[in-house]
Amino acid sequence: MQNITLNVEGMSCNHCVKSVEGAISGLGATGKVDLAAKKVDIAFDEAKVTVDQIKEAIEDQGYDVV
Ligand SMILES: [Cu+2]
């Protein structure tokens, strides 16, 4: 397992947290949003999903990975 932390702009409420965490779990990874810090801690299996795919999934929900 790999762990990364992404800075994500645009998350403002619990709905955003659910959208982002849901998009990440849809890829078979685990995401934990820290709303105040605008960060997402992600644990993923690099054999199954790439960082780029995770970033895309978050951006597809309408948030910006910075
Ligand atoms: Cu929201």
Q: How far is the CA of 64 from the centre of ligand 1 (A)?
A: 13
What's the mean pLDDT when you consider all of the chain?
97
Distance 47 CA to ligand 1 centre (A): 31
How sure is the predictor about 51, in pLDDT bands with cuts at 50, 70 and 90?
A: very high
In 3D space, the residue among 19, 20, 23, 22 whose CA is nearest the CA of residue 7 turns out to be: 20
Closest of 8, 2, 17 to residue 50, by C-alpha = 2
Instruction: Tell how far the Cα of 19 is from the centroid of ligand 1, in angstroms.
Output: 8
Cα 53 to middle of ligand 1, angstroms: 22
Residue pLDDT, tens place only, 10-35: 999 999 999 999 999 999 999 999 99
Taking the centre of ligand 1 as the mean of its atom positions, its distance from the CA of residue 35, in whole angstroms, is 10
